[in-house]
Chains A and B, each alone.
Chain A
């Protein structure tokens, strides 16, 4: 019996899988203690918690960081470098802001502690840590009631002796994060920040998961981590910083699973919410990054490369100094929300534009229950249109076009900027507001296929069930490919990481994926390349073609390995989605309404749609919490598992004249 739970949003989503049956449930979240909603949901679903294999997407770590509510943490580093975290990379956040607001660092200077001792760049001890410093540190920790300590010393990833010595001197019941354990990679600021954040939220995550374990007593408790795998609850407590993308990761894992099921390995995912939109690229597996950030601090552990922009259904439209229409970044938020929420919103939001144009039918209910206020929407667009010199409807179309340009821009960042052509991908669209813009975005990016998966409203929770148990291990070692000994050292490194994995994931049958970060000698950025065997020349040629793909050129230069990476995982079958009964009879038209610029269009209820028939745009497909705008020239069928598959027929193959002739006529 598997239960996936995502507590991230306004609602806590449940997806239950047992006895070949899939059940969904939704409850208002309980942000002060997310576990209450989980317990209630388990009761309402009538499940015996002791039989449950529970997989949880938790925002406890993320929220504590964003709301600056982590525990009192002491940061320990070298004397003279205590300000490492507050200096950061020395840059100011806004280039053209003369009077920026002050930035309050997460760690105060008084909570930073310097010790003696240094290693050189080869990991050899140049100066020892003085025993006096260690004693002084222990006293300080005891006297000031620190709940956690983060230690980051230079080159500790080459030699952990000093960090270990400091840890040994501290009380056992203290939460301690050592940088060589959290992230054994070079670049001290990024490693220090990751280590600090781990300590800052670790005790909170531990405490939360213990409580959940105690109250619910599930058979297994797993948590989804930022790299899209799941980890055991006790490990999640120790490595809390790995949870910063715990919620959103579920959506990508589900997307990957759906893509696999449909035989679509190349996906651009699009998750549009009220204030922000997440996009990502999947090619077989989701793209990963080690350059994640939260609250202005780097988190350099491998995580899913999810690109977020501040544009969503609540983004507000306005007119700038030169008379150009603009959308966002300001958002109507939940209060007052868009004008159509009828809570006093007096500026046009993207959702209002959809309503005014009829892409959200006027009788639709907000979150499935509240009626929408079309009058209020009309009023704000009259005013906005007047300002722009456009009709209300033309102004609304402009708002959609600009909002969609922002979103297409985000999709280009994860595809075009990495050397991928969106035309080779399908757009997989989930979350509440995405379906209204999917066709327009696909058109903008020359994409011909869209997938709106089943359970797209609880997609992240669905992903919890699909995630495999997995952990990432890494170590920075600079290795020149041209050195004779490299093959042997590389094998050695992988062996060391493998025994680390076996220690951490005891008693499991592990499988491994091996990768290395490679770059041309001297470059500052790497590409992560799969290691399939011990043939180094094959590795180099894969690196070179990846470089060509990503940056458009390759160089005549030596190649080096900077970091060795191992992913250890347990293979297990993903719960299968139930199949829908096919039917050659089209679903009944559930109603119709006017869409601006198109005319009267039919409505379908998504729950009525069955595999076997094809539907032509324009049409609206309605769900309780989402609407899909199937634009003209697009058609739609339903997969055997209930995914909506949208397609735009390629007309140019039929009778469009070659473009060169067009001008001649």
Chain B
């Protein structure tokens, strides 16, 4: 790379990521469902003509790595024409879990395919057996509509099959189609902007950017001492009676490359905690991305020096057909925990204790007259403490960063009332530095409805490091007729009017041996 090229590439990288930001702005503002517009559970990206990620806005980490990992397979399946729009959600064909629907459009400049723009968003329902399609199922087909990559528009012509399938199977399908339209609009904008850059040698510039950006990944790994580092933690259960399920990692650092191997991890489970390899990759790549500098371009190439292997048919590389709803939102957090835990042995000053290790997925659903309603929320918790200070309290950790829904908005739309929304004081693990606190949220149920929970760290606790205590485990509780009872970490229930649901989310782990602060009741690890 010549010095002049370096200047041009720096400019080019900024332009590409600005395009992705703009795609996100379009999607967020024109989407219909609260999950996309308010909670911002979506990501936008640009790819080269081979389906290699060349830019992505900093939206949701779980989307970043998984798109980088799996788009190449998808784009190879079509003979692309201008104004095609392809949609998919199949976890074993480019997707993550069924509610994450991806819209892809090819980008043509003067009849030549120059790349792709894609928008992935988490839809509030995809026609699974339970409202919100995030229940405890044992087969992928029960989790909802499986869309293998297929045309929504072919050369600009709408193909009726896809909308028909939504209409037949998906709750509040009109809202889904509105959201898909917003995703398509975002892709179109991304395409137009890339075409505007396509004057000369776009291919060469993309190739040069890819070549250069690999260096960020290599440098980050070179900063980690060579060696093999292992760590193990567990998913406490699969919601169907199996567990705990070990997640094991062995990371081999050699110079500028890393091998991440999950041998020893439990076999895939009956319940929905399985991950397609794309989700596992997203989790691993997230951790390494955190070790790279802030301005690192979001290309597939930064991850080239990292190889990932897992025994086929295990929890983190499940076979097609396995239930995966919680793999994306729960197991991914545990994968982050084990990768961080292993790296803590190599670079203890740069790695925090465990964060809450769950997204605390809470899904209410029911009928309002003729119409279905679904309300999906993930709850924040504590981040782990680190060598530099306390962990943050009541924030979304690691693989997600979605916002909460406004209490007023949810009370306007659903028969629920939020009674409590508080910091769970003292739930962060103690240490020289304390883990961040989790939170407490309580919903009063005004009408009979349905509840699904997909949570973790109820029976186990987020680990501390360097002698710090673990964070407090989370709790799920139901109050019916004045009597409190515990609910399991995962499951679906029919709720009655006047029920009260209370979720307490885990605190982050503590770091270092404390001076005089008393530990929590949790075990020191």
Quick check: which of B45-53, B229-237, B383-391 contacts chain A, the rest being far away? B383-391
Contact A97 B396 (CB under 8 A): no
Q: A417-B25, A552-B185 are in contact. Are A325 and B406 (CB under 8 A)?
A: no
Contact B6 A520 (CB under 8 A): no
Contact B421 A87 (CB under 8 A): yes
Residue tally, chain B, CB below 8 Å to A: 87
| B379 smallest CB distance to A (angstroms) | 8
Most buried by B among A102, A322, A406, A547: A322
Most buried by A among B10, B395, B412: B10
CB neighbours (8 Å) of A552 from chain B are 26, 185, 188-189
Near A by CB (< 8 A), chain B positions 136-195 give: 174-175, 178, 181-182, 184-185, 188-189
Contact partner of B216 (CB less than 8 A), chosen from A94, A155, A321, A557, is A321
| B24 smallest CB distance to A (angstroms) | 10
Report the Cα distance A96→B59, complex, angstroms: 11
A134, CB-defined interface residue at 8 Å = no
Contact B10 A92 (CB under 8 A): no
Main secondary structure of the interface of A (DSSP, over half): loop
Near B by CB (< 8 A), chain A positions 394-411 give: 394, 398, 401-402, 405-406, 409
24 A–B contacts from the bound complex (CB under 8 Å): A81-B421, A87-B394, A90-B380, A90-B403, A90-B404, A96-B290, A98-B350, A99-B386, A100-B383, A101-B389, A154-B408, A188-B407, A321-B219, A394-B4, A398-B7, A412-B18, A413-B21, A520-B178, A523-B30, A523-B31, A553-B182, A553-B184, A555-B30, A555-B32
A86, CB-defined interface residue at 8 Å = yes
Contact B215 A520 (CB under 8 A): no
A658, CB-defined interface residue at 8 Å = no
Report the Cα distance A98→B215, complex, angstroms: 21
B205, CB-defined interface residue at 8 Å = no
Contact A96 B14 (CB under 8 A): no
Q: Mark A96-128, 1 if CB is under 8 A from B, else 0.
A: 111111110000010000000010110000000
A530, CB-defined interface residue at 8 Å = no
Additional A-B contact list (7), CB under 8 Å, known A389-B3, A552-B185? A90-B380, A92-B392, A322-B215, A523-B31, A550-B29, A553-B185, A555-B181
Contact A409 B18 (CB under 8 A): yes
CB neighbours (8 Å) of A323 from chain B are 1, 6, 212, 215
Contact A95 B11 (CB under 8 A): no
Q: Which chain A residues have a beta carbon within 8 Å of chain B's beta carbons? A: 80-84, 86-87, 89-92, 94-103, 109, 118, 120-121, 154-155, 186-189, 320-326, 388-390, 394, 398, 401-402, 405-406, 409, 412-413, 416-417, 478, 520, 522-525, 547, 550-553, 555, 557
Report the Cα distance A647→B189, complex, angstroms: 30
Q: A100-B392, A320-B295, A524-B38 are in contact. Are A547 and B404 (CB under 8 A)?
A: no
Contact partner of B422 (CB less than 8 A), chosen from A81, A155, A322, A406, is A81
Contact A524 B37 (CB under 8 A): yes
Report the Cα distance A113→B387, complex, angstroms: 34
Q: Which chain B residues have a beta carbon within 8 Å of chain A's beta carbons? A: 1-4, 6-7, 9-11, 13-15, 18, 21-22, 25-26, 28-34, 37-38, 58, 61, 174-175, 178, 181-182, 184-185, 188-189, 212-213, 215-216, 219, 286, 289-295, 340, 350-352, 379-380, 383, 386-390, 392-397, 401-404, 406-409, 411-412, 417-423, 439, 442
Contact A99 B394 (CB under 8 A): no
| A425 smallest CB distance to B (angstroms) | 17
Q: A321-B293, A405-B14, A552-B189 are in contact. Are A90 and B3 (CB under 8 A)?
A: no
| A160 smallest CB distance to B (angstroms) | 15
Report the Cα distance A322→B211, complex, angstroms: 10
CB neighbours (8 Å) of B28 from chain A are 525
Contact B406 A189 (CB under 8 A): yes
Report the Cα distance A417→B184, complex, angstroms: 16
Contact partner of A186 (CB less than 8 A), chosen from B2, B392, B409, is B409
Contact partner of B61 (CB less than 8 A), chosen from A86, A95, A522, A525, is A95
Q: A80-B442, A320-B295, A322-B215 are in contact. Are A121 and B386 (CB under 8 A)?
A: no
Report the Cα distance A402→B184, complex, angstroms: 31
Contact partner of B394 (CB less than 8 A), chosen from A80, A86, A94, A405, is A86
Report the Cα distance A446→B168, complex, angstroms: 49
Contact B11 A553 (CB under 8 A): no
CB neighbours (8 Å) of B25 from chain A are 417
Top-8 shortest CB links A-B: A524-B37, A99-B386, A322-B215, A90-B380, A389-B3, A80-B420, A92-B395, A551-B30
Report the Cα distance A401→B11, complex, angstroms: 8
Q: A416-B22, A417-B22 are in contact. Are A99 and B442 (CB under 8 A)?
A: no
B222 to chain A: closest residue by CB: A321
Contact B394 A102 (CB under 8 A): no
Q: A81-B407, A523-B30 are in contact. Are A553 and B212 (CB under 8 A)?
A: no
CB neighbours (8 Å) of B33 from chain A are 522
Contact B37 A523 (CB under 8 A): yes
Q: A102-B392, A322-B212 are in contact. Are A478 and B412 (CB under 8 A)?
A: yes
Contact A326 B295 (CB under 8 A): yes
Q: A83-B423, A96-B58 are in contact. Are A388 and B401 (CB under 8 A)?
A: no
Contact A557 B29 (CB under 8 A): no
Report the Cα distance A228→B2, complex, angstroms: 49
Contact B408 A81 (CB under 8 A): no
| A659 smallest CB distance to B (angstroms) | 9
Report the Cα distance A98→B351, complex, angstroms: 7
B401 to chain A: closest residue by CB: A91
Q: A405-B11, A409-B14, A552-B185 are in contact. Are A98 and B178 (CB under 8 A)?
A: no
Contact B37 A551 (CB under 8 A): no
Report the Cα distance A297→B25, complex, angstroms: 20
A109 to chain B: closest residue by CB: B423
Report the Cα distance A80→B37, complex, angstroms: 27
A520 to chain B: closest residue by CB: B32
CB neighbours (8 Å) of B29 from chain A are 523, 525, 550-551
| B12 smallest CB distance to A (angstroms) | 9
Report the Cα distance A320→B14, complex, angstroms: 14
Contact partner of B290 (CB less than 8 A), chosen from A87, A97, A102, is A97
B397 to chain A: closest residue by CB: A92
Contact A89 B6 (CB under 8 A): no
Report the Cα distance A412→B20, complex, angstroms: 13
Most buried by B among A81, A109, A321: A321
Contact A102 B422 (CB under 8 A): no
A399 to chain B: closest residue by CB: B7
Contact B219 A102 (CB under 8 A): no
Contact partner of B387 (CB less than 8 A), chosen from A84, A99, A389, is A99
Contact partner of B15 (CB less than 8 A), chosen from A94, A326, A405, is A405
B36 to chain A: closest residue by CB: A524
Contact A102 B390 (CB under 8 A): yes
| B406 smallest CB distance to A (angstroms) | 5
Q: A96-B294, A187-B406, A555-B181 are in contact. Are A522 and B6 (CB under 8 A)?
A: no
Report the Cα distance A39→B275, complex, angstroms: 69
| A633 smallest CB distance to B (angstroms) | 19
CB neighbours (8 Å) of B213 from chain A are 322
Contact partner of A324 (CB less than 8 A), chosen from B182, B188, B212, B411, is B212
CB neighbours (8 Å) of A94 from chain B are 294
Contact partner of A121 (CB less than 8 A), chosen from B3, B174, B411, is B411
Contact partner of A98 (CB less than 8 A), chosen from B9, B11, B22, B290, is B290
A416 to chain B: closest residue by CB: B22
Report the Cα distance A98→B288, complex, angstroms: 11
CB neighbours (8 Å) of B34 from chain A are 524
CB neighbours (8 Å) of A551 from chain B are 26, 29-30, 182, 185
| B352 smallest CB distance to A (angstroms) | 5
Report the Cα distance A463→B7, complex, angstroms: 39
Report the Cα distance A416→B193, complex, angstroms: 10
Contact A321 B6 (CB under 8 A): no
B6 to chain A: closest residue by CB: A324
A323 to chain B: closest residue by CB: B6
| A458 smallest CB distance to B (angstroms) | 33
CB neighbours (8 Å) of B26 from chain A are 417, 551-552
Contact A101 B6 (CB under 8 A): no
